[in-house]
Structure 1
Amino acid sequence: MTISDTAAHAASERPRAAVRPPRASSKPNGQWKIDGTAPLNGNEEWKQVDNGLSVRERIEQTYSKGGFASIDPTDLHGRFRVWGLYTQRKPGIDGGRTATLTPEELEDEFFMLRVRIDGGQLTTAQLRVIAGISTEFGRDSADITDRQNIQLHWIRVEDVPEIWRRLEAVGLQTTEACGDVPRVVLGSPVAGIAADELIDPTPQITEITDRFIGDETLANLPRKFKTAITGHPSQDVVHEINDVAFVAVEHPELGIGYDLWVGGALSTTPRLGERLGTFVRPDQVADAWHGVTQIFRDYGYRRLRNKARLKFLLAEWGTEKFRQVLQDEYLGYELPDGPAAPKPLTAGDHVGVHEQKDGRFYVGVTPIVGRVSGPTLAKLADVIEAHGSSRLRTTPHQKLVILDVPAENVEPLVAELDALGLQARPSLIRRGTIACTGIEFCKLAIVETKVNATAAVLDLEERLNGFELPHPISLHVNGCPNSCARIQTADIGLKGQLVTIDGEQVPGYQVHLGGGLASQDRDEPGLGRTVRGLKVAADGIADYVERVVRRFLADRDAASNETFAQWAHRAEEEALQ
């Protein structure tokens, strides 16, 4: 077998699922349509009493006036999430104590507030409002997430009603941004403007959010529920790791519509979603989405929270039964068979300068690991408008895309964005690096992420200067095992944990290698491999990445255009150390 054959075989054999159906148990799983709706744990009890939508009135009328000490504990640790609010981590608590302290001991009296941005679609007027809230109420904090949201920190409950008023005045919201609900709908960042898109998914995203966000009947799901919709051939919404996803495809007889995927999610038991093999017309998308969501509500496992995701139900049922239940019990009609979307030929992060269908241009830029600030966002709004635009998008890759730029303004805009730290032509290391919130704010984290990843990027840009990388190397840095930064789907994924190096326990990361999704220009989406004993200290990211990238460049089969992921799956463990 040649090197190129080995690489291709490794890609095709890459693991796609790590979730087994639950073992048969004499205990009920809490599936409403099978076991009844009696709550089987404390979390299910409070959700049945009040699923969280009504807590807004208490926040506005009681808690914002009485302050943090007046908040009911169940509201604080449960229902607040439905309105995009989590308590953030108290400063100074090291990662070794994350698993030993209670939430009350870990939390500060400040909140993370998640602004819901469905499809990533923003105007400069909305951006200014977010910037103003960040500056006035959030100590200038602002992070662009890999779910197309913007997260603010240091928010006091006293200020939440005013923040909501400002957001809603410009058409933004925090409704169901967190919690056991349908969360933000990921959408193609170039919807409606890309010259090569198959269909603009904006009407489908709008119908879903208008009809169902805030719907009481869907506000008590077993756990979180994630959605993605794209009409772009780059498949730019990481559809394989969402609970439900719609990917544009052309049917030979029925025209343009969507390929329906279900059951993807990562965390500690990763599973890539699967196609149901159906073709969904654009006017059927909202109903199909509603049907899948109701299946999760009615049949999802509720007894154990670590099994309460749609991926576990799909693992038990399989795609054939899932499709039949969707059609028979929820849609009332059969969906036709449909083809799979072809492999993407371009990257899905949209970084760089690209011509729109109307002759203007969109410019995709890279803030390092998604970290920006209120003042930066305010300046960005000014710069965008000064160059003839009023629209931008967030992306599932912690990037920003500025739309509608006249040709003559492209290069001046690129220069001013670069001065803000938003590069349209970044290094391939900077372009491919994302990081979760980390120990700075997250109560689940064990290790710092944003600061460590930023330092590594800046260091690696110097170390690898002069080396020609064949493609962006995706480096995903996560502060705990829960994979908010998608570590199993990166070229190099770093999972935060305490590690022992030279006999001393220090903050560090377990290494995953060779993962990837369709939007990252991979032959076959798959999960990364782990190498036994391969750990990296928190301050050693740049050392490790430089070492393994240099080895990749030395060993790769350039004739077959072998990717890092292909090489990582065929390489001997010695090469990956």
Structure 2
Amino acid sequence: YESNDIAFLGVDHPEHGPGFDVWVGGGLSTNPMLAKRLGVWVPLAEVPDVWAGVVGIFRDYGYRRLRNRARLKFLVADWGVERFREVLEKDYLGRTLLDGPAPVLPSKPVDHVGVHEQADGRHYVGAAPVVGRVSGAQLSQLADVVEAHGSDRVRLTPYQKLLVLDVPSERTESLIDGLRAIGLEARPSAWRRGTMACTGIEYCKLAIVETKARGEELVARLEQRLRDFDADISIHINGCPNACARTQVADIGLKGQLVVGPDGRQVEGFQVHLGGGLGMAQGQTAGFGRKLRGLKTTADELPEYVERLALRYLAGRSEGETFANWVIRVDEEELR
């Protein structure tokens, strides 16, 4: 929610019950900004009006004629939250919104992988492809597996995961086996679970480097060399500066670019961002990754670099210390 133009985040008001906390002005790409809380509580019935009001503000006041500033985040940054809320209430809603409490956040982002109970007593099962890549044939096989287990609903997540909904509790283990047989893992390694990649140069005209194949190679190397790794480290691989894979808010964010290789020629590589994160609870780091001057890696050297960094984190972390907090604490040389 912190990286979107507008987001409604579920929250309980002490007097009015369930509703939504409103955030505006987020966005990544070449000018990343985190969304800001308006500090209001909105009931479900009023969400369309508030959404339309925010969109109306962007339509009327946003910098839509300026290609490099045609996002709500620039207007929110210039106006500030107080003015934005005031204009929304007075000019677009015609009423004052209720003040609301800040959301209670989980200790880490929720990716829905694994088996989880639904409100109706049935279960949903979240499974991870490798770096988000699935084929048409695989999706056809998925439909057969899902139908055979009494479900007709599949959902996709922002973390490039698949969710199978409405599974009877006694069928979850069989479903997990069926998903594994077609290359979808509901109990993935930390590396498979935490790595995602944008489309990359294979299908995107803006991309500078290959991403999916590099991500698959990286996951395979790390699963082989660090199979029993006991921490979650998110790795987001992007083929250009536009951050479709949310480079700046990963533990290890990799922005594709051409770099100088060992022989002095330009080759595919990545600029490295370290220690980013979104939606963290108190005591955790929420913000953009640390970008060290000159910290780059060639695509061929990427698996070795990530392995070296992960081992240094294991050796140097304090008890309970997250990767992001370790990155902030240690000297730059530890991160190279």
- The aligned counterpart of 2:249 is 489
Q: Distance in 2 between matches of 1:373 and 1:520?
A: 36
CA contact (8 A) 2:105 2:281 kept: no
Question: Matched residues in 2 for 1:416 and 1:242: separation?
Answer: 35
Mapping of residues 239-318 of structure 1, within 5 Å: 239-318=1-80
Paired position in structure 2 for 1:75: none
**CA 1:518–1:255: 2 relative to 1, 3 Å:** same
Percent identity over the alignment is 60
The alignment status of 1:512 with 2:273, answered yes or no, reads: yes
1:570 to 305, 308, 329: 329
Instruction: Evaluate the alpha carbon distance shift between residue 464 and residue 489 of structure 1 in structure 2; reply closer, same or farther with a 3 A threshold.
Output: same
- Residue 85 of structure 2 corresponds to which residue in structure 1? 323
Structure 1 counterpart of 2:235: 475
One-letter identity of the residue aligned with 1:563: T
Amino acid at match of 1:260: V
Whole-Å Cα distance in 2 between the matches of residues 465 and 350 of structure 1? 21
Give SS of 1:241's match. coil
Q: CA deviation at 1:328?
A: 0.8
- Contact 1:347 / 1:521 at 8 angstroms: preserved in 2? no
Cα deviations by residue, 1:526-573 (Å, 9 ceiling, x for unpaired): 110111111111122211110100000100001xx1100111111111
Q: In structure 2, give the amino acid aligned to 1:348.
A: V
Q: For residues 273 and 53 of structure 2, what CA distance do their matches in structure 1 show?
A: 35
Do 2:259 and 2:266's aligned partners in 1 also have CA atoms closer than 8 Å? yes
Q: C-alpha separation between the residues in 2 aligned to 1:446 and 1:371? A: 19
Out of 512, 523, 529, the position equivalent to 2:284 is 523
Which residue number corresponds to residue 127 of structure 1?
A: none
1:354 aligns with 2:116: yes
**Equivalent residue, structure 1, for 2:147:** 385
| TM-score under structure 1 length normalisation | 0.57
User: Which is richer in helix?
Assistant: 1
Secondary structure of 2:38's partner?
A: strand
**Displacement of 1:521:** 9.8
Q: Offset of 1:373 from its aligned partner?
A: 1.1
Structure with the greater alpha carbon radius of gyration: 1
**2:104 & 2:171 partners in 1: Cα distance?**
34
Runs of 4+ in 1 over 2 A off after TM superposition: 501-504, 519-522
Distance 1:294 1:544 in 2: 46
Match of 2:205 in 1: 443
CA separation in 2, counterparts of 1:261 and 1:528? 21
Q: Offset of 1:500 from its aligned partner? A: 1.5
Per the alignment, in what secondary structure is the counterpart of residue 196 of structure 2? Answer: strand
d(CA) in 1 for partners of 2:70 and 2:91?
A: 21
- Aligned positions of 1:163-312 closer than 5 A: 239-312=1-74
1:407 aligned to 164, 169, 178, which one? 169
1:501 counterpart (261, 271, 285): 261
Match of 1:462 in 2: 224
Q: Where in structure 2 are there 5+ consecutive unaligned residues?
A: none
**Is contact 2:285–2:324 with CA below 8 Å preserved after alignment?**
no
Give the drift of 1:254.
1.3
Secondary structure at the residue paired with 1:415?
helix
In the TM superposition, what is the alpha-carbon distance from 1:361 to its structure 2 partner? 1.2
Q: State the 1:469 CA deviation.
A: 2.1
- 1:358 CA drift (Å): 2.1
Q: Residues 114 and 126 of structure 2 are in contact (CA less than 8 Å); yes or no, is this contact kept in structure 1?
A: yes
Q: Structure 2: how far apart are the matches of 1:418 and 1:307?
A: 45
